[in-house]
Amino acid sequence: MATKPDAGGSRRGVTITPGAPDVLTIRQLGKTYANGVRALDDVSLDIPRGMFGLLGPNGAGKSSLMRTLATLQEADTGSATLVLEDGSSIDVLRDKDAVRRRLGYLPQDFGVYPKVSAEDLLEHFAVLKGLTERKSRREMVEGLLQQVNLWDARKRKLGTFSGGMRQRFGIAQALLGDPRLVIVDEPTAGLDPEERNRFLNLLAAIGENVAVLLSTHIVADVTDLCPTMAIMNKGKVLLTGKPADAIAALSQQVWRKQVSKAALPDYEARHTVLSTRLVGGNPVIHVFGAQQPEEGFVQVEPDLEDVYFQRLRAQARAA
């Protein structure tokens, strides 16, 4: 069974029943834009029920993948299959109307009508989603507003909502029609810590019942929430699997040292520097290596940020 986020500000990832079938299967997806940019380069992923983190920097191809899966743009090559509860499947790239009926999507830039109330706009979206029976539609709208903790604000105009409230409203519209797959693209960008925690708790609860594809460049979001993940950059999938397994693979290979600003370029030239942080005015660097790089380095336990940067550095070296 899945674990729920606690009532406070902390959160826990969703535990998926072992052997649960994949909800979305992506194979060798490719997309090249007219300007020659290869946005998706042979992307293959298996996404089960629960939270799946798609981690990568800006320009990695995450939004291109999200838009393709949301039927907003065409892929050049490859396939994507959405598996339903009864075992039947939908061809995501060809049967777009069927996909849209079972898909919830919160894009990176989710616009709202500022002078319309949350309740009225959500009902409007429900009609557009095909929920034509008035009584059941009203019940769904009321239930979703309560689920995202906006019931008390349902009569307020959306233009008065905070950033976090708008994102929670965005999730409510994404959940209309009982979706099988929910896609959220960079949902916590610009949110303050309290709103971010509240929003991620909501995503974790949603992930108990459906597949939630969370696209983000914030490593902590994936560490805290996602039992499975992938790292993307420059259109390629660099790693897939469980965050804990990826972290364990770097065990005893991450080293830390505080250096002077003047010496930093020399360290970057001689070592694989994963990350740099200023502490007390001087950089503290994490270096990847099978052995102690030199005197003064201390071995530290890796985290997902180290995994993330190690994969990006390895790709850059290979290129």
Half-sphere exposure of 151 (CA within 13 A, CB side): 10
The pLDDT of residue 277 is 93
The pLDDT of residue 218 is 87
| Calpha distance 275→288 (Å, rounded) | 10
Paired with 89 in beta bridges are 83
Answer whether 239's CB lies under 8 Å from 307's CB.
yes
The pLDDT of residue 21 is 67
Q: What are phi and psi of 236, to 5 degrees?
A: -110, 145
Output 72-75 pairs: Cβ under 8 A, ≥24 positions apart.
73/31, 74/31, 75/29, 75/30, 75/31, 75/40
In the chain, % helix, strand, coil (3-state, to 5) comes to 35, 30, 40
Question: Is the domain of 307 the same as that of 160?
Answer: no
Domain at 205, CATH number: 3.40.50.300
The pLDDT of residue 20 is 53
> Does 2 reside within a domain?
no
Sheet bearing 89-91, strands edge to edge = 38-48, 22-32, 77-83, 89-91
Question: Is the domain of 94 the same as that of 192?
Answer: yes
| Calpha distance 230→241 (Å, rounded) | 7
The pLDDT of residue 309 is 96
140's tokens: 């769904």
Sheet bearing 254-258, strands edge to edge = 272-279, 282-288, 254-258, 298-299
Question: Is the domain of 159 the same as that of 281?
Answer: no
Question: Is the domain of 236 the same as that of 253?
Answer: no
> Does 8 reside within a domain?
no
The pLDDT of residue 39 is 96
The pLDDT of residue 17 is 39
Question: Is the domain of 171 the same as that of 40?
Answer: yes
Question: Is the domain of 277 the same as that of 255?
Answer: yes
> Does 5 reside within a domain?
no
DSSP 117: B
The pLDDT of residue 111 is 74
Question: Is the domain of 141 the same as that of 276?
Answer: no
Question: Is the domain of 229 the same as that of 304?
Answer: no
Residue ending a domain, among 208, 242, 276, is 242
4-41: string of b/e by CB count within 10 Å (b at 16+)?
A: ebeeeeebebbebeeeeebbbbbeebbbeeeeeebbbb
Neighbour tally for 82: CB within 10 Å: 23
Question: Is the domain of 190 the same as that of 260?
Answer: no
> Does 311 reside within a domain?
yes
Residue ending a domain, among 219, 242, 265, is 242
Mean pLDDT by 10 residues, the chain (319 residues): 37 40 92 95 95 93 94 96 92 94 86 89 91 91 93 94 89 91 87 85 87 91 90 96 95 96 94 94 94 95 96 92
> Does 15 reside within a domain?
no
> Does 288 reside within a domain?
yes
> Does 17 reside within a domain?
no
266's tokens: 């020399």
| Calpha distance 215→53 (Å, rounded) | 6
97's tokens: 């109307």
Q: Which domain holds residue 256?
A: 248-318
Answer whether 44's CB lies under 8 Å from 240's CB.
no
Question: Is the domain of 146 the same as that of 185?
Answer: yes
The pLDDT of residue 200 is 86
Paired with 40 in beta bridges are 31
Sheet bearing 181-185, strands edge to edge = 103-106, 181-185, 211-216, 50-55, 228-233, 236-241
Q: How many domains does the chain have?
A: 2
Neighbour tally for 235: CB within 10 Å: 23
Question: Is the domain of 92 the same as that of 222?
Answer: yes
Q: What are phi and psi of 232, to 5 degrees?
A: -120, 150
> Does 213 reside within a domain?
yes
Residue ending a domain, among 190, 225, 242, is 242
The pLDDT of residue 16 is 36
Question: Is the domain of 187 the same as that of 75?
Answer: yes
